[in-house]
Amino acid sequence: MYESYYGFNAKPFQLKPDPRFFFGSKGHKRAMAYLEYGISQGEGFIVITGEVGAGKTTLMRNLFNELESDKIQAAQIVNTHVGSDDILRLVAAAFGVEYENASKATLLTRLEQYLRQCDVQGKRALLVVDEAQNLTPRAVEELRMLSNFQTADKSLLQTFLLGQPEFRRTLLSEDMQQLLQRVIASYHLGPLDLIDTRSYIEHRLHTVGWKDDPVINTEAFAAIFAYTNGIPRKINALCDRLFLMGYLEELHHFGEIEVNQVIADIKQEFQLPPSHLETGNQVTGLKDLPNINLEHMDDRMAKMERSILSVIDALKKMLPSNKANNYSEKEN
C-alpha cells in the first residue's frame, strides 16, 4: 500500500530475510568476518548466536550470495525439532542424497560417498544448521561425528551452527567437550545501538528509493530504538506499521508522537480483554478517558476515509470490466 504513496520501488520493512537489505552494522560486520574466516579455514565448526530477530539468517543468506558456487557446495537445515536419527536424514536431504528407508549405516555411507565425490570435483561441502538451540545433545553429537569424514590432509565437511543464546548452554555441557574442541570461531550477535538503528532504517529506505519522503526526525529514531531495543526484526515490524499509518493518514513527517501512537496501537492489540470492569466505567465509558483533541481526531478520520476510498477506487480499476458492470447493476 504505502510503497507507491511514498515512491518506493519495493517494500522496505518486510519480515522475511532478504540479502538485498543486508546492513553491515558493527556486530554484523564482525560476525561476517568470523564466517569468512571459517570458510577460509575449511574445517571445524563456526558458532553464531543471537537473540530472536537479530539477523542471523540474513547474515547467512548474505554469505551464501558471496560464496563461489563452483568451489563450495552449501546446504542449509532450518527445521531442527528432530531426534538424532532424523538429523542425519535432514543432512542427506539438504545435500540431495537419497535417504528414504535407509538405515543409519547406509545414510552415513551415502553421505561419505557424496562428500568424497565433492572433493574429487574440487568442491568443499558446507552445512549450515539454523535454529541450533532446538537440537538435542544426541543430534549435535551426530553432527560432530560427520566431521570425522576426512581425506589424508583435509576435512570433507564444515558446519556452521546458528542459534539463540541458550544454545551456548548446550555447548558448555559436559557432553559437548569433543565438539567444543572443533569450534574454530564463535560469536554472539548483539542488538543494534541507537546510531546503527538509525543507519539500519535509512539503509533499508535508500535501498527502495527513499527521497526523504517521509521525513523522520531524530526523536522518532530514538523512540523506535527504545521500543525495539535494536532488534532488526522488531524494527521492521514497527516501521512497517508506522509507514502504513503514514499512508492512511497522509503523513509526510514522522516524529516521536507518531511512533508512540503506533506503539500504543500495537500494545493495545496484544492486550488481553479485561475480565471485569467497574460499574461506572462499564455504563458511562467516560471515567478514565484521557483528554481528547476532537479536532485532531476528526482530521485523522477524514484522512483515513480518503485513503480507504482511494484503495477502493484502485481495486475497482483492477476488476475486469464485466465484473465491474455486474457490481454496478447490483448496486442499482
When divided into structural domains, the chain yields a total of 2
Closest CA to 168 of 47, 267, 289, 317: 47
Q: How far apart are the first and last CA of the chain?
A: 30
Q: Is residue 280 part of a domain?
A: no
CB 160 within 8 A of CB 128: yes
Q: In one letter, which amino acid is 291? A: N
Q: Is residue 117 part of a domain?
A: yes
Range of 8's domain? 1-13+192-269
For residues 232 and 203, what is the distance between their CA atoms, to the nearest angstrom? 12
pTM check: above 0.75 = no
CATH number of the domain bearing residue 75? 3.40.50.300
Q: Which residues of 292-316 are buried (b: 16+ CB within 10 A; e: fewer)?
A: eeeeeeeebeeeeeebeeeeeeeee
Greatest pairwise CA separation for the chain in angstroms? 83
Cα separation, 253 vs 212, whole angstroms:
9
Question: Tell me, what CATH number does 225's domain have?
Answer: 1.10.8
- Please list, residue by residue across 124-156, b when 16 or more beta carbons sit within 10 angstroms of its beta carbon and e when fewer do: bbbbbbbbbbbbeeebbbbbbebbebeeeeebb
CA distances from 25 to 32, 90, 107 (A): 10, 32, 41
Same domain, 118 and 199: no
- For residue 164, the SS3 value is coil
Same domain, 67 and 166: yes
As given in the structure block, the three cell numbers for residue 16 are 522475511
**pLDDT tens for the chain, residues 1 to 332:** 899 999 999 999 988 878 788 888 888 888 888 888 888 888 899 999 998 888 888 888 888 787 776 788 989 898 888 888 899 999 999 999 999 999 999 999 999 999 999 999 999 899 999 999 999 889 999 999 999 999 988 899 999 999 999 998 888 888 888 888 899 988 899 999 999 999 999 999 999 999 999 999 999 999 999 999 999 999 999 999 999 999 999 999 999 999 999 999 999 887 766 654 444 444 444 444 444 444 454 555 555 556 666 666 656 566 555 444 444 444 44
